[in-house]
């Protein structure tokens, strides 16, 4: 395999940018490598209408580093009060690219999410009609369900019934973490894709819990057993176009992570491309890297592959910065827990 690869500029099909000082600090970490990203709407308050999405997009564009070439792809936060016509209008104008489903209480800032799926059926039917994709945080939140089983139970209780009841609805299972999810996606003929994060490709639940609690590896959905990590790697490197990159890069101030009730999320925008390249290299699958990073997601969303390119170079293991500074404090950058031999350089 070559020590130098040139690929189109990739997309991040699942990204948290937050707002305010955090947005200002973390946006450059994404625009350095990625040409587009699906922007998560779980702000406080959430981005629930077209007007909210337009205002948030303007704040992102205002925070862009000088000379950056980056397109934020906006989403709406699905609630039980979402207006189908507002969704349709936002999609028709080109403002939004998808709608995001959070089961209420599933993750950070998800309290406004869905509890009664019958109440959002008109929105889902309108989305199927106009071809607007639904991005799904795939976990149930029932307290009696073990946290390590919540993704598998969601597929059975929620996702499959929703898909059966809404023919034609395009769905992306975001940040899949289990063999169950991989098997479900590969068993579907059309209309279903899945994003896989860099961190779920390299860590399992031991990284969170062995030798003490490691808060910067804690995310939701939580990392699972090693057999599930291996299933994710196999799916990512398979070349199957239903799987593509979504970092779920989720910045939190260190004080919020390193606390008695630490926030869920791994901040990976800085090194996600290099980490994924290392995984594909270790699996002898560098020929599949471009598909996973640059082509599969664009095809699923019906978009062209980006112009511009990145050059990846295999060299001595690199040392990443420990954190990104914000006006409110540092945000720790994800430690991949293995040597990363790939450097990433945008072509000019």
Residue 1 has pLDDT above 80, yes or no: no
Mean pLDDT of 305-313: 96
Residue 180 has pLDDT above 80, yes or no: yes
Whole-prediction pTM:
0.96
Whether the bond into 221 is cis, omega within 30 of 0: yes
* Inter-residue contact 56 to 62 (CB < 8 Å): no
3-state SS record for 74-141: EEEECCCCCCHHHHHHHHHCCCEEEEEECECCCCCCCCCCECCHHHHHHHHHHHHHHCCCEEEECCCC
Residue 56 CA to residue 25 CA, distance in Å, equals 16
Which residues pair with residue 72 across a beta bridge?
Answer: 37
Residue 343 CA to residue 149 CA, distance in Å, equals 36
Reading across the β-sheet that carries 309-314, which strands appear in turn? 4-8, 309-314, 342-346
For residue 104, the model assigns a pLDDT of 78
User: What φ, ψ does residue 169 adopt, rounded to 5°?
Assistant: -75, 125
Which residue is it, tokens 């996702």? 159
DSSP state of 264: P
User: What φ, ψ does residue 63 adopt, rounded to 5°?
Assistant: -90, 0
* Inter-residue contact 41 to 51 (CB < 8 Å): no
End-to-end Cα distance, the chain? 25
45 CB burial (10 A radius; 0-12, 13-18, 19+): exposed
Residue 302: CATH number of its domain:
3.20.20.140
Residue 71 CA to residue 34 CA, distance in Å, equals 9
Mean pLDDT of 293-302: 98
Residue 47 neighbours by CB under 8 Å, 6+ apart: 41, 53, 56, 74, 75, 76, 77
High-pLDDT (> 70) share of the chain, %: 97
Residue 107 has pLDDT above 90, yes or no: no
Mean pLDDT of 198-220: 97
Q: Supply the residues annotated as catalytic.
A: 248
- Quick one: residue 39, left, alpha or beta (phi over 0 = left, psi -120 to 50 = alpha)? beta
Which residues span the domain enclosing 101? Answer: 4-346
For residue 114, the model assigns a pLDDT of 87
Mean pLDDT of 196-216: 97
* Inter-residue contact 14 to 40 (CB < 8 Å): yes
Mean pLDDT of the chain: 95
Question: What pLDDT band is residue 111 in, cutting at 50, 70 and 90?
Answer: low
Question: What pLDDT band is residue 117 in, cutting at 50, 70 and 90?
Answer: confident
Domains contained in the chain, number: 1
User: By three-state DSSP, how is residue 22 classified?
Assistant: helix
91 CB burial (10 A radius; 0-12, 13-18, 19+): buried
Mean pLDDT of 290-317: 97
Question: What pLDDT band is residue 115 in, cutting at 50, 70 and 90?
Answer: confident
For 22-79, write each residue's pLDDT tens digit: 999 999 999 999 999 999 999 999 999 999 999 999 999 999 999 999 999 999 999 9
**Residue 281 in tokens:** 């290299």
Q: 3-state DSSP helix/strand/coil percent for the chain, to nearest 5?
A: 40, 20, 45
Mean pLDDT of 156-166: 95
* Inter-residue contact 218 to 208 (CB < 8 Å): yes
Residue 94 CA to residue 262 CA, distance in Å, equals 37
């Amino acid at each position: 395999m070559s020590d130098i690869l040139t690929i189109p500029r990739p997309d991040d099909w699942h990204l948290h940018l937050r707002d305010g000082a955090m947005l200002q600090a973390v946006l450059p970490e994404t625009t350095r490598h990625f040409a587009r990203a699906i922007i998560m709407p779980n702000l406080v308050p959430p981005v629930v209408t077209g007007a909210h999405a337009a205002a948030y997009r303007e704040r992102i564009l205002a925070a862009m580093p000088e000379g950056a070439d980056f397109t934020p792809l906006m989403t709406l936060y699905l609630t039980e009060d979402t207006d189908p016509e507002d969704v349709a209008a936002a999609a028709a104008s080109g403002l939004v690219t998808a709608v995001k489903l959070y089961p209420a209480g599933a993750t950070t800032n998800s309290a406004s999410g869905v509890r009664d799926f019958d109440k959002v059926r008109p929105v889902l039917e309108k989305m199927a009609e106009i071809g607007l994709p639904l991005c799904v945080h795939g976990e149930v939140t029932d307290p009696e369900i073990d946290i390590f089983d919540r993704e598998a139970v969601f597929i059975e209780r929620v996702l499959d019934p929703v898909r059966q009841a809404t023919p034609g609805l395009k769905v992306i299972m975001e940040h899949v973490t289990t063999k169950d999810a991989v098997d479900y996606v590969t068993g579907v003929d059309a209309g279903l894709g899945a994003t896989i994060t860099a961190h779920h490709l390299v860590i399992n639940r031991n990284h969170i819990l062995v030798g003490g609690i490691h808060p910067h590896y804690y995310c939701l959905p939580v990392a699972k057993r090693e057999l599930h990590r291996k299933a994710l790697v196999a799916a990512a490197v398979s070349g199957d176009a239903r799987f593509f990159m979504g970092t779920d890069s989720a910045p939190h101030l260190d004080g919020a992570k390193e606390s008695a009730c630490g926030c869920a999320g791994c901040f990976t925008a800085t090194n996600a491309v290099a980490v994924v390249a290392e995984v594909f290299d270790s699996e002898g699958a560098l020929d599949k890297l471009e598909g996973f990073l640059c082509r599969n997601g664009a095809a699923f969303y019906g978009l062209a592959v980006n112009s511009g390119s990145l050059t990846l170079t295999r060299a001595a293991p690199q040392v990443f910065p420990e954190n990104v500074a914000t006006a409110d404090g540092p945000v720790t950058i994800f430690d991949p827990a293995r040597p990363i031999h790939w450097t990433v350089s945008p072509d000019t």
